[in-house]
Amino acid sequence: METATAPVSKKMLWIGRIISALPVLFLAGGGIFGLMKPAMVEENLSRLGYPAHVARAIIIVEIACAVVYAIPQTTVLGAILLTGYLGGATATHVRIGEPFFVPVIFGMVVWLGLYLRDERVRALLPLRS
């Protein structure tokens, strides 16, 4: 069963691209910074309850998810991977009793950007009036 959706307007496409760029820039930039400052990352991970030796792997996963999301052909897979990654971040903050709204908001921004620029996603998640 096909659901008809309106084609993406240029305005909606560009708003979606800009919104999608925000988590990519933040996560990839933060990951690159983390690779340059491993002591700071290891200290933060220790505070969150993770051993220092997992820092590089977590950073590489973060950057890889952001890159997969940034590539138009793999953006849906990237959104799914980022949802899982940010779900882990949310669980970590809940476990240690810290506010967890930042990774939740980032996950919403990831899907909002994709929703605005991809009519296939809008067909899967139609907003009804």
Contact (Cβ atoms closer than 8 angstroms) between residue 82 and residue 107? yes
Report residue 36 as tokens: 């340059």
Residue 68: closest CA among 57, 79, 55, 52: 79
Domain ranges of the chain: 10-124
Neighbours of 97 (CB within 10 A): 7
Contact (Cβ atoms closer than 8 angstroms) between residue 52 and residue 46? yes
Q: Residue 80 pLDDT > 50, yes or no?
A: yes
pLDDT of residue 11: 93
* 38-73 residue pLDDT tens: 888 888 889 899 998 898 999 999 999 999 999 999
Residue 47: closest CA among 93, 114, 7: 93
